[in-house]
Structure 1
Amino acid sequence: MKHIFIGILTLFLFLGCKKQPIPAFISIDNFQLVNNPTVPNSVEGELTQDIDFVLLYVNGNNLGYYELPIRVPVLAEGVASIKLYPCVKQNGISGTVIDYPFYKSFDTTLNLVPEAEYSLSPTTMYTDNISTWIMDFEGANSLNSQPNSVVDMIKITDTTHVKYGTGCGYVHLTTTDSMWNARTSSLATPSGKIWVELDYKISNTVLNTFVAGYSGGLSDEYPYLYLNPETSSLTEWKKIYIDFTENRSAITDALYYEAGFTAILDPDKTFSDIYFDNVKIIYFQ
């Protein structure tokens, strides 16, 4: 019995002394969105982004999604292929992070050494085969007000509020001018993925809608999601990525699609402000 006990103790000591693998570490602060030289500037538009997450692959192995900035231990040694996918919050929801289909991955190779630190500064760009409809408020045009809208979105150039370029769209709601309803221009029915990018700064709730158009000027408008205002009086520019893919796939008989926006003065306010910029419908060619 004594010999059995000693044998078991020896086995535990042996197992306890087994050398554990030592990781290398990969650190990433942020992703930068840069110009794709094969895509015209008129198609890309203003390069604004809100890449908050990254999907990490090492040697073809999926290591998961991480919120930036990150410092990730990697149990690999020697020359390793690294692939980083820029990820965004689908429809602005933190729980639905997705690698954005219109951004390219960042690929590199590292010679990983245990305990070593590797700091990466990844860049991404739009894929080569994108098409877009853009309203950037740099010209005279704006979103198309609908007949029931009592106020229009106008272009302003006040540098207090304009963050990108020389102008942005602006709506001022009051108790008398309390309703705004506008749409993008009509877009012929693209196949595959279709998203809307939007920079916004708002002190009032805004409803985003998906519009399907038919012959004779008829259309159906489907409520999709709400843009919620800042809780404080200080509003800041935000960016949202809106996924219309399932909406488009579910409605196959439409002749065209549009994105719509509706705001009715919030009941606890006497006035509110809405700022839009870089409204971008994006899809594959």
Structure 2
Amino acid sequence: MTTLAVDPRDLAPEEGYEPATDAPTIGVVVSLTFPQMGEEAHELMTRFTRTAFAELRAAGAHPILIDSAAAQKPDPVEAALAPDGLVFLGGGDVDGALYGQPSLATNTFGVDRRADDFCLAMLTAAIEADRTVFAICRGSQLLNVALGGTLVPDLQPSDLHRGGPGQPMFVNEEVVLHAGSHLSDIFTGSDLLTVRSGHHQAVDRVGDRLRVTATAHDGIVEATEVVDRSWIVGVQWHPEDDHGSAADRVALFGAFVEQCRMRRSVARERVGSAGAVGRPAELRG
């Protein structure tokens, strides 16, 4: 099977786009290609990444693409620390060797160890520096692995979490939000949230310094956050799926961007008389 690649020109229109000078800069980390990327995965990755860019822009942020599959990548520590915040999007499976899985699990898909290593180095630096991070699906799994956790390599049965053979991959799934979490602060009306899911892997042993903040009705971990950092949140579902709730998507991306905006404001205050904080040179579009 021919492996396809997402064209970055399809992700965010530049005509007429001019970010505000004080817009928080967001590094959007995603692999534009990975092994076994066929037409369905290509369409999903294009649509989801495009939606993430649109939501970040609509919330007043300036998203910058960081392709974790690129042959020439920036230094991961510099890439983690330069922007005001980071979004890690979904993609292929995490290499099982990184969490003690000795052999390929059933249904393993799209493993790219170089992309994994790059993302883990970015996450480690971001956690250490208390950056603002929103990790989605594969991103939330990488967050768990970065902190010493493990993954369920292949959920069986997985009908709550993805479509079956011959069905659409993504399904509506109800998750239970845990009180006192960043997510419960965002979605205050109920402890139940209907989300868009399409995963066959999930957090198993929870990593050090992480706490579970949402679970599925079968007990599978659906969200986590780092307990000793300001705002590092992982969700197993796909808020960037534009077939899901627009209001929930706006609320979640908006809350993340607001955290990035506050970080940028604090950084400007620290600079003081040295001048305003501009966009990081190594990530400027």
Common topology (TM > 0.5): no
TM-score normalized by structure 2?
0.23
Higher helix share: 2
Q: Which has the higher strand share?
A: 1
Q: State the structure with more CA Rg.
A: 1
